[in-house]
Amino acid sequence: MTAIALTIAGSDSGGGAGIQADLKTFSALGVYGASVLTAITAQNTIGVFAVEDVSVSMINAQIKAVLSDLSVKAIKIGMLSREDTIRTVADGLQNHAGPVVLDPVMVATSGDRLLRDDAVAALKSVLMPQVDIITPNLFEAAILTGLPVAQTHQDVVRQAEQLRKQGARAVLIKGGHGGGSECVDVLLTDRDAFHYFRYPRLETSNDHGTGCTLSAAIAAQLALGHDLLTSVIAAKDYLHAALSAGRLLQVGAGHGPVHHFFAQWPAEQVSAAASLRQPDKQKGGANEHAGTKAG
């Protein structure tokens, strides 16, 4: 049977994040993608210039249309923007038995705020307990926990544990906004096990949509029938390769996109991207992650 994943998120007119990045990721990983649009943004690689929410009645209609016909194996949730949208999506999840990935989109790469302050409480109380994994970056984890932005590994662990206490079944805190030569992500599973993913930090301005891409890749792997840990490992490998290959793209004047289709086009670019990735693989990727029990 065809593996199908659904993305519930906002649109990025620049094509690098949101619904567009999710559908590209699904396709690149061999999964059929369906979509529910929650908001329309006017944005490019430089910034976000306008946001227009889709009505909750239309969001509800889209969810019902997709889930009543398509055999959706996994759902990725991205930009929700406001409280009414969050509650509508949460209600719609009642008809879905498969895994759900929540990317709590709050701030764009450009720094523009994408989630209203009054919606944060609803995200935590209404939606977070319904999903299988939440994937905040360092800034989003701080907002969700009410703690300062993590500066140390211990801070990240503490915030992951706090998010579990707030209702999240599993938590992946992304370290892309941190410092140092390595990018370290921390996964706390529903079995209270910690897993760490270490990658060499890539110097690139083509990092728009990384959070959307990672969460969509996790959803795609779950739709293919993999367990959560296997899905996160595969998704991290995919994102790192897409970031590496994205350094060869020339899209816009600001933060360009990652290269979602690095394995598909064109041949000479694939070869160049592969040569760029070889040293990174030697330094250690997600397959070398360490797993420990929470203390």
CB proximity list for 229: less than 8 A, separation 6 or greater: 187, 189, 195
Mean pLDDT score of the chain: 86
Domains and CATH numbers, the chain: 4-293 (3.40.1190.20)
Q: How confident is the model at residue 287 (pLDDT cuts 50, 70, 90)?
A: very low
Please tell me the predicted confidence (pLDDT) of residue 107: 64
Query: Which backbone phi and psi does 275 adopt, to 5 degrees?
Result: -70, -30
149: DSSP letter? P
User: Can you say how many angstroms the Cα of residue 175 is from the centroid of all Cα atoms in its chain?
Assistant: 13
Chain segment 172-183, per-residue pLDDT in tens: 999 866 666 688
Query: Which backbone phi and psi does 32 adopt, to 5 degrees?
Result: -75, 130
* Average pLDDT value for residue range 139-160: 90
pLDDT at 232 over 50: yes
Beta bridge partners of 290: 196
Beta bridge partners of 182: 200
* Average pLDDT value for residue range 35-62: 94
Please tell me the predicted confidence (pLDDT) of residue 105: 82
